[in-house]
Amino acid sequence: MQQSITNIAMKKLFIVLIASCVATLTYSQSKKEAKVWASVDALQKAVFETKDSMVMKDLVSETLTYGHSGGNIEDKATMVRNASNSKTVYKNSTVERLGINVRKKTAYVRYIFRTTSIDNGVASPLDLGLLQVWQKEHGKWMLEARQAVKVKPKQ
């Protein structure tokens, strides 16, 4: 009888330990995802709102490949120079998070960016689907690659 109670207690303890491990892994993954999204948001703000070249330089890798929806591909120096010197103003911007996949020190992020771009007083809708690859370098998330494609406007 005593052995049966001990077996039941051991089984319950084992189930609690497994559940704790799963919860810990889920929480730590969410914590990693939150840190990547924070980097995505900070870069998005630096490029499309503040045009802050220092923030851009701090968040992108030296080996960056930055693809635009029109087909242009830029390296880090070109991307930072063009984005920080751009005269385009962006209004009513929204980000629709589609997904993130974090594996060890690499994160794959997909989202849709919708805004109104204003060039020389002319407003145009801009709807982009983005894929970004982030790599953890020296304890921080750095953008390695980005590709944008035009997507249909939201109905």
Gap between the Cα atoms of 139 and 32, Å rounded: 12
- DSSP assignment of 46-95 equals IIIII--HHHHHHHEEEEEEEE-TTS-EE-HHHHHHHHHH---EEEEEEE
CA within 13 Å, CB half, 140: 11
What is the predicted pLDDT for the residue at 3? 61
pTM, 2 dp: 0.80
What is the predicted pLDDT for the residue at 28? 47
What is the predicted pLDDT for the residue at 19? 46
Gap between the Cα atoms of 83 and 56, Å rounded: 9
Pairing, β 122-137 against β 140-150: antiparallel
Domain boundaries, the chain: 2-150
- Residues 50, 126, 83, 77, Cα dihedral to 10°: 140
Averaged pLDDT, groups of 10, the chain, 155 residues long: 62 51 49 96 97 98 97 98 97 96 97 97 97 96 98 90
The CATH code that applies to domain 2-150 is: 3.10.450.50
68 contacts 74 by C-beta, under 8 angstroms: yes
Residue in 127, 133, 134 with CA at minimum distance from that of residue 147: 133
Look up residue 140 and give its two tokens.
Answer: 């921080």
What is the predicted pLDDT for the residue at 9? 57
- Only one residue has tokens 């001990």, namely 6
